[in-house]
Structure 1
């Protein structure tokens, strides 16, 4: 056998220690990666299961809504709005005026006559 010197033995031991350290580091990396992969696959499987359950619920609801639409009758009628404007206002009519006399004759059932001052307030000629 060839005798090795102390430097060669030291180099062989250093290489052996480095090889063992490197292989342990690689094995730990592979182990961590496999744990991460297993967690990701479990999350993906759970997400796929939830999606399929939600899809099934959505299909069930959609089928029920289709059944309801067939039984539903919609009558569309336009909304008619009548706006009533007040004809009578809270206005005091003086008892001595011609308008008061006209209202009294209408209330008594008499034929209303023309007031005496008709047209006296309107001084502009009609077009």
Structure 2
């Protein structure tokens, strides 16, 4: 009988140890699952927030692209104005401007003819 009691005690001890080991495994698995779900929720919230920001940036970039096109059109209009085609200037004024751009001193007759009377004689 003592052997039977010892065997029953050993069996009860083994069952208790195995049950405790299984319960500890279930607890750890439950904790890991809770942590994984919290991480997934945080990632989903971050992705939603970043998607909103990306949408706002794309909208703003689309607006900036439209503004860029308007600026380009404005520059094209500036270039086509007749003032840049030397239509308004007389040939002696064009010669005077070209000499100034090239760094050459203009002929004294050109300066006297191109400038008003008061400016040509000023000291």
Answer yes or no: same fold by TM over 0.5.
Answer: yes
Q: How many residues end up aligned between the 2 structures?
A: 73
Which residue of 5, 30, 38 maps to 2:26?
Answer: 30
Question: Among residues 62, 66, 70, which one is paired with 2:58 in the alignment?
Answer: 62
Please give the residue correspondences for 1:1-127 in structure 2 after superposition, counting only pairs within 5 Å.
5-73=1-69, 74=72
5+ unaligned residues in a row in structure 1: which ranges?
78-127
Larger Rg: 1
Note the C-alpha offset of 1:67: 1.5
TM-superposed deviation, 1:49 = 0.6
What runs of 5+ residues in structure 2 fail to find an aligned partner? 77-123
- CA-based RMSD of the aligned residues comes to 1.7
Q: Give the TM-score taking structure 2 as reference length.
A: 0.55
- Normalization by structure 1: what TM-score? 0.54
Q: Which structure's relative contact order is higher, taking Cα pairs within 8 Å and 6+ residues apart?
A: 2
State the partner residue of 1:120.
Answer: none
Following the alignment from structure 1 to structure 2, what is the Cα–Cα distance between the partners of residues 58 and 9? 72
